[in-house]
A and B are shown apart, each in its own frame.
Chain A
């Protein structure tokens, strides 16, 4: 395995715990900047609620725009976490061990970011609870023929499931934090660690439960994003109505999610000095995984477009043309260059092991994937009736809200890193143990 120097278990504890609690000026600045942007986004939302949905850039016929596009993006990002923690766990992939905690945190936090979008995008957000199946005197129930109602169920299940999984997998590490701290911290982490003592029986039960839980979450990965894709695919809008959408969206989700994990890990390696735990080998593996998923995603992208092209259906043709040189062209060409061409470099080991390249390309890939989601969402600018065709332009309100959720992601990640061990100590130890 990777490391040439033997690392002791106490080294692991020390290095991971070192990243917690201590506040550097840079960290405080980062928290303040992201927190400020979150507050600004919140203000923008309040303006939108006060004056009306028209404060955002949406207009006929593009009834959805940045909100739904960014919603899909965040859902997508969340998938990489589950992939690394649950699916690769089941597949007994060893190199995932130092990586998965941060990926899992990313899952829950990006889901939180995603989950507020269905609210932001409602015309009458104060009636949001009508989307939930709550008992009421008039016996009104949500319409479970609507993909939006499926969405509500899927996203909330995923959020609850992934959050429990994150917490559950963290229990042995929380016990380590408890054992290494004093006073009120000790009490709090003691409660969170649920009295973990590290007995054999505890480890046995823990591993069993973790694996069962991982099976459950594995099932959620394709379903949640499949359901999100059905928001589009179940409609009759050209550019949305396509059977390839579920696998296409799931692959796109994991593609962008892995890119997101790479970005975060490179940042953590740098600022938390964890290069010996999260090694270049780990990053190489991750980049290779991203490249593999990229190939799947690229194939499915082509499969979305080519049959429509061959079929010569005028409606789909009009939507395709809108992507090449119409209102969606900016989004299309950004996606094409950053998510379509750039990842080809990952075929080379040299590029996979170059951290600057990985860092920049992972960010660009996510920009491209975000653009792809927005591009798909604004297919309605070229709907069936040519007289209703339109254009779309963002305003300060929807831009601020989108930036606000990106800042919210950063803000919550920063908080998470200081309160919880962002690398799984016990699994890294397992890895060291096994490699010895």
Chain B
């Protein structure tokens, strides 16, 4: 009897039946939770396939830069953030912080529902109607008392529709828009103040770094955190001339007492005393005017007189920068065209004078309206310290009784000396909209779960203009997590509850109305509905044409401005015999102003310069450490008249001996499991010194003393030796050698493997800034676990790609000519003679037909011999079941195209083999074979803001990677071992 003809048992079902039942059950289950399923009728194109990812365009909300992003969404989960290639700010690239936005979305400690403070002081869960009713009742009471204007709203940098809505909210309550306080502790207000002073324009200028041949930047960490780092880093890539068609390689000079990412990448780093940067800038102006090197139409005597105090010898004495360097730099600035001088951070107490000096230099050398241009923009000013002091006084005096904090944490960012926390205690009613609890929300009566920028409708104007009119639009790409809601919708509901006419039913309709006016201004054809739809699909709207306008400054006004600046510029930050050091609180490239400290990817990302993970050390110059008798890991007390912080020392050559560096961003009391109680917050001990011109808090102007405590604590760094140790792994080439080698082609070895395809890569070290965007991109793409500080201290962290940082030999950065740091992104080299392969006893690693060194996790037994034999040390072992350590719902970010690895196996960079497969399948479906060049982008390459990484088929002679591999600067790391790596590095050029 055949098997088929057997009578079916009563209670058994066959495969078809099972599938049918399962399908029905799944459908029913899916239908039962309509709230959870998120299908937008707008963005998902027809023929949406479950299981196939969709890329949704929106705007990055992690910092005010306003980069365009695309979010990979798969079955309702956000999987990866990449730059929007069409966006004029970032052209498809995105920084580490921007990519980590997914971990904000899926943060395990998000505020899941409204929390109200019970009488006992503890926060208790409430429902949304209850929460809104609570706010409405309070506001109603105020209204009954005739005090409905006694409210304030504190927000971060809000622009466009979001600002309009907050203002509309305040107006509806009868309060003035001056009750909207924009609080950004890191800002460019000095630059606005200087431009107002000199040009009667309060805008941030457009910097055309890509066109400049010389950039002199003062304090502005353009490649790290300042204004629009991704945009500037892209320009930097072009500026370095890597393989672009530019005529010459740009030269960068950075002036700052501390080694920022920009300083580390500059050809020359000058470290003047804190506060003397303005004097340095004016010394350059002095030389240019004295020697008549600048524009010819000057009133020379007036200028000479105004600059008389800044002759290089005197400035050298004041600043500690040698006079001859100032002279030669001035001459260089005057002779190299076009050049660009940049300044404008709120670090020094004379920051506006510095920014003004920089703009005067631009004007003197004819770079204004060339590399430095102006464009109309209406970003709101960040609140200066005086305004925050007034807010504090209002809270104390009862002029502000109800206060709303939207996505901001002033209790963390404001100096303790201001006494804002005490004042806040006096308010009647405090409401915080927070995604992850923070120091401020902990002090509030009502905490409302705030939807992230990936779950809300919003719009924005980029913080730094890029020469085109840009209106960014953000949209929900996934359904809101938990019970979170956008603050704007809640504000509208509050107005509704009060019975006040609300400007719109919800924020989406509010935005649509506003965007119809943008439509009118844009001159686009079609209906405003079509315009809106197109903007939603594209992530915003931007003009195609240059929208910069020339400015024509009056010389007399410039001279007046100069005289005003000169007064402030002729001193350094005050120290005293007791308070000998200046505390340099600098923005962290990982945490910005501290708002990203809760995100584990960024905690585990090494700081590009100190390579410290998960902590914030006190940075001391080796000489200062020696004088104090401390070494790495000794805990010191940094004391200002306003308070003290204690943290372990990191002996760091990238700082002046009279300066103490502490990164901003750690030291949260309350900020989720990854950041709470971790590290120190330098902002808490700042004095209330402000920049005189703009009123912004001066971040690097507080005098402190440093005392050893005798305690020890660990400072976990991701890197071993900071020096090359004679191994030649990091190589540079001088400009002269490069000229001599002009036309000489580097001949890479012929590929040994691969029939039609041999995958390979080039990394241009002259473009790489070491920012670390590639590392987060790799983590997101390849499901790389975050292991935490303890495991990092045992070097059990996973970095399929890691950026190594080397100091020049000797490590005396202050006295070294040439770039202060060299960065080397290190990953699996996919060697053609891979040393890992023959030593594996079970063939768990081998070559495939396309020349990739592949790793078969399932076959690995964990002898770890491959890692021992890997000269590049890029194979990482799963010492524990790290993948089980993800706190829910962080694992929702996991990329289903890459498997997670189990305990006891080795893993490493795959050259994003899943992306190669996807692209190959797509090409096959389209009948194309082999793949076109550029069709496969690895995750690191895709994110790299400087475009340093190029991936391609080395068998294709026309591929960009093949051509770059023949660059005269090409070399392979440890070539002498004959491992024949598939990765060619292009040497960094030294001056």
Contacts and interface: CB of A to CB of B under 8 A. Distances in A.
Interface size classification for chain A? 35 or more
A53 B729 contact: no
B893 to A, nearest CB: 23
A247 interface: no
Given A63-B867, A122-B863, A387-B719, A143 B843 contact: yes
B806 A124 contact: no
B868 A237 contact: yes
B809 to A, nearest CB: 11
Interface in B829-876: 835, 838-843, 859-865, 867-869, 871-873, 876
B796 A59 contact: yes
Interface string A164-207: 00000000000000000000000000000000000000000000
B974 to A, nearest CB: 5
A52 B727 contact: no
B904 A123 contact: yes
B862 A122 contact: yes
A301 interface: no
Most B Cβ at <10 Å: residue of A124, A317, A387, A390: A387
Contacts of A130: 842, 859, 861
Given A124-B862, A384-B974, A387-B719, A237 B873 contact: no
A318 B727 contact: yes
A128 B728 CA distance: 39
Contacts of B826: 385, 387
B593 interface: no
B549 to A, nearest CB: 48
Given A130-B842, A143-B841, A390 B904 contact: no
B884 to A, nearest CB: 10
Contact of A148 (B723, B841, B871): B841
A26 interface: no
Contact of A315 (B727, B867, B878): B727
Nearest to A236: B835
A420 interface: no
A385 B796 contact: no
A237 B835 CA distance: 10
B797 to A, nearest CB: 8
A64 interface: yes
B868 A380 contact: yes
Interface residues of B, number: 55
Given A53-B904, A59-B794, A236-B977, A64 B841 contact: no
A122 B903 CA distance: 11
A151 to B, nearest CB: 8
B886 interface: no
B863 A121 contact: yes
Nearest to A123: B862
A130 to B, nearest CB: 5
A146 B844 CA distance: 12
A127 interface: yes
A367 interface: no
Interface string A382-419: 01111111100100000000000000000000000000
Contacts of B905: 123-124
A123 B903 contact: yes
A146 B865 contact: yes
A237 B865 CA distance: 11
B860 A124 contact: yes
Interface string B871-895: 1110011111100000000000000
A124 B906 CA distance: 11
B843 A60 contact: no
Contacts of A383: 871, 873
Given A60-B876, A124-B861, A236-B977, A314 B725 contact: yes
Contacts of A51: 880
A389 B719 CA distance: 7
A131 B794 contact: no
Contact of A149 (B722, B791, B841): B841
Interface in B690-735: 719-729
Contacts of B903: 52-53, 123-124
A146 B839 contact: yes
B795 interface: yes
Most B Cβ at <10 Å: residue of A51, A380, A384: A384
A52 B904 CA distance: 7
Given A64-B868, A146-B865, A390-B720, A123 B843 contact: no
A92 interface: no
A54 interface: yes
B203 interface: no
Contact of A388 (B873, B879, B906): B873
Contacts of B805: 387
A324 B873 CA distance: 23
A237 B838 contact: no
Given A60-B796, A146-B840, A385-B727, A54 B791 contact: yes
B824 interface: yes
B804 interface: yes
B454 to A, nearest CB: 34
Contact of A131 (B796, B842, B868, B872): B842
A60 B877 contact: yes
Given A53-B877, A383-B873, A384-B974, A390 B863 contact: no
B877 A123 contact: yes
A147 interface: yes
Given A52-B880, A60-B876, A387 B861 contact: no
A121 B864 CA distance: 9
Given A124-B904, A383-B871, A63 B864 contact: yes
Interface in A229-282: 231, 234-237
Nearest to A393: B794
A61 interface: yes
A211 interface: no
A386 B977 contact: no
B547 to A, nearest CB: 45
Contacts of B835: 235-236
A306 interface: no
A393 B805 CA distance: 25
A386 B720 contact: yes
A380 B871 CA distance: 10
A60 B805 CA distance: 18
Given A130-B861, A236-B835, A236-B871, A314 B880 contact: no
A54 B725 contact: no
Contacts of B842: 130-131, 140, 142-143
Contacts of A380: 868
A152 B861 CA distance: 14
Contacts of B902: 124
Nearest to A240: B868
Interface in A120-169: 121-124, 127-128, 130-131, 140, 142-143, 145-149, 152
Nearest to B973: A385
B795 A390 contact: yes
Contacts of B728: 314
B791 A386 contact: no
Nearest to A124: B904
A389 B879 CA distance: 18
Nearest to A312: B726
9 contacts: A52-B903, A59-B794, A61-B795, A123-B863, A127-B861, A146-B865, A235-B868, A384-B872, A388-B873
Given A123-B904, A123-B905, A148-B865, 9 more contacts: A63-B867, A122-B862, A131-B842, A143-B841, A152-B841, A231-B865, A234-B839, A385-B804, A389-B720
The 6 A-B residue pairs with the shortest CB-CB distance, nearest first, are: A123-B862, A54-B879, A389-B720, A123-B904, A388-B873, A387-B804
Interface of B: 719-729, 791, 794-796, 802, 804-806, 824, 826, 835, 838-843, 859-865, 867-869, 871-873, 876-881, 902-906, 973-974, 977
Interface of A: 51-54, 58-61, 63-64, 121-124, 127-128, 130-131, 140, 142-143, 145-149, 152, 231, 234-237, 314-315, 317-318, 380, 383-390, 393
